């Protein structure tokens, strides 16, 4: 998608290093950063210079390429794979991508390993782009139906950033929105701010602005009243891990949006590529929920009058806080799952119908 009128992807490989857009600096500064070692990749995932389930999966896969470049040795590769998997716990794409790479590289000789690793990362990345594009085309039909019925702008609420910045291109939740906009359907997006890291305000609003899509930032708590007032036609969110029964784990606060949507008969869709499906875990309580540093709650970041990024504390120093990064929305609150293969019911039957 576009930044300043120029098409970008979120990650690419150039001159033996991995290029990323540093998302901790957006929307204030646009900085392309080089990852040269596997440690750089782990650090980029941990500090959320890259974030979003599909993108951290791709970054981990590229991390293995960097690991081979720095030391073409099996025990180093294994250690790198373990450290990459441990860098963030909730999004299943991370383990999925590393496992896929390691399977492909198993038994490959030293002369071929780098070439094969690069080919496999390319396959992962291109697959994600095509899956996200298809999610968009499948979700477009839902938006078009709403627009045809309403004969007016369709108001869509989204939470966090499940946009192109969270993937390689297109995004998951945003892909149907981008496709609708490109087809001339009038859409307006309510963007949840998404405390504490403000991925909605900082990233979703930014990328929608760059694509010329009308959007309004709201506090995380405003969705309920907007739904009661009939100002939300549908919700679309992403997911970091989708259980085979249709439960979806996503950024903290998603569950509360789904409850509000249910109470107000607002359709609540979750957009996902099949790489976020966890076919093994059966119970939502078994999903590892990331708990992040409490400083993300006690401090806020913004720019001063000189456009310099500043961080300030907003809590009493003595106060304790708990920073859970994800929650789980039970399948019964989800109207449908928008996948690369079509839209299905949020249930084992629905998912297995599409992904045998």
For ligand MRU, which stretch binds (CB under 6 A), given 67-75, 99-107, 164-172, 338-346?
Answer: 164-172
For ligand MRU, which stretch binds (CB under 6 A), given 10-18, 64-72, 120-128, 232-240?
Answer: 232-240
> Nearer to ligand MRU by C-beta: 235 or 325?
325
- The Cα 68–Cα 110 span in angstroms is 9
**Candidates 40, 220, 240, 327; catalytic one:** 240
Q: Which residues contact 68 (CB under 8 A, 6 or more apart)?
A: 77, 113, 114, 117
For ligand MRU, which stretch binds (CB under 6 A), given 14-22, 76-84, 205-213, 235-243?
Answer: 235-243
Structure tokens at 91: 């999004």
For ligand MRU, which stretch binds (CB under 6 A), given 140-148, 158-166, 204-212, 297-305?
Answer: 158-166
**Which phi and psi angles does 88 have, rounded to 5°?**
-145, 140
The DSSP secondary structure of 4-39, one letter per residue, reads TTEE--SEEEETTEEEEE-TTSTTT---EEEE-SHH
What is residue 153's DSSP assignment? P
Which residues, numbered 63-122, are part of the site for ligand MRU (CB under 6 A)? 91
Minimum separation from the CB atom of position 305 to ligand MRU (A): 28
53 binds ligand MRU (CB under 6 A): yes
Which residues, numbered 249-308, are part of the site for ligand MRU (CB under 6 A)? 250-251
200 binds ligand MRU (CB under 6 A): no
x/- mask, ligand MRU, residues 308-337, rule CB under 6 A, reads -----------------x------------
Closest Cα to residue 289, out of 326, 245, 241, 236?
Answer: 326
Which residue(s) pair with 251 in the sheet? 326
Sort 243 into a burial class: Cβ within 10 Å, 0-12 / 13-18 / 19+: buried
Q: Which residues contact 319 (CB under 8 A, 6 or more apart)?
A: 298
Q: Is 192 a catalytic residue?
A: no
Q: What kind and span of H or E run contains 57? A: helix 53-70
- Single residue of 11, 26, 51, 191 touching ligand MRU by CB under 6 A: 51
> Nearer to ligand MRU by C-beta: 105 or 337?
337
Minimum separation from the CB atom of position 27 to ligand MRU (A): 15
- The Cα 339–Cα 274 span in angstroms is 7
160 binds ligand MRU (CB under 6 A): yes
Active site residues: 240
Positions touching ligand MRU (CB under 6 A) are 51-54, 91, 160, 162, 166-167, 171-172, 199, 238-240, 250-251, 325
């Amino acid at each position: 998608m576009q930044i300043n009128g120029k098409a970008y992807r979120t990650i690419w490989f150039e001159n033996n290093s991995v290029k990323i857009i540093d998302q901790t600096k957006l929307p204030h500064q646009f900085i392309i950063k080089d990852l040269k070692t596997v440690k750089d990749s782990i650090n980029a995932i941990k500090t959320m210079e890259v974030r979003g389930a599909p993108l951290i999966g791709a970054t981990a896969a590229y991390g293995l390429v960097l690991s081979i470049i720095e030391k073409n040795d099996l025990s180093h590769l294994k250690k790198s794979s373990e450290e990459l998997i441990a860098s963030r716990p909730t999004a299943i794409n991370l383990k999925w991508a590393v496992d896929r790479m390691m399977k492909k590289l198993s038994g490959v000789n030293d002369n071929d390993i780098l070439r094969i690793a690069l080919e496999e990362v390319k396959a992962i990345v291109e697959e994600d782009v095509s899956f996200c594009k298809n999610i968009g085309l499948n979700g477009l039909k839902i938006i078009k139906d709403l627009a045809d019925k309403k004969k007016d702008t369709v108001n869509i609420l989204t939470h966090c950033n499940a946009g192109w910045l969270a993937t390689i291109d297109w995004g998951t939740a945003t892909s149907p929105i981008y496709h609708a906009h490109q087809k001339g359907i009038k859409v307006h997006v309510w963007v949840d701010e998404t405390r504490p890291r403000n991925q909605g305000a900082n990233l979703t609003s930014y990328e929608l602005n760059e694509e010329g899509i009308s959007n309004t930032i709201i506090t995380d708590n405003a969705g309920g009243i907007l739904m009661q007032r009939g100002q939300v036609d549908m919700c679309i969110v992403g997911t970091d891990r989708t259980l085979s029964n249709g439960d979806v784990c996503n950024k903290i606060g998603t569950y509360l949006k789904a409850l509000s949507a249910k109470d107000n008969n607002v359709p609540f869709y979750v957009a996902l590529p099949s790489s976020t499906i966890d076919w093994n875990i059966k119970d939502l309580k078994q999903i590892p929920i990331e708990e992040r540093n409490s400083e993300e709650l006690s401090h806020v970041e913004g720019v001063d009058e000189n456009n310099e990024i500043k961080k300030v504390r907003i809590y009493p120093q003595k106060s304790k806080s708990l920073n859970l990064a994800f929650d789980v929305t039970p399948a019964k609150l989800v109207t449908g799952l928008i996948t690369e293969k079509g839209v299905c019911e949020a249930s084992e039957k629905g998912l297995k119908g599409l992904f045998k």
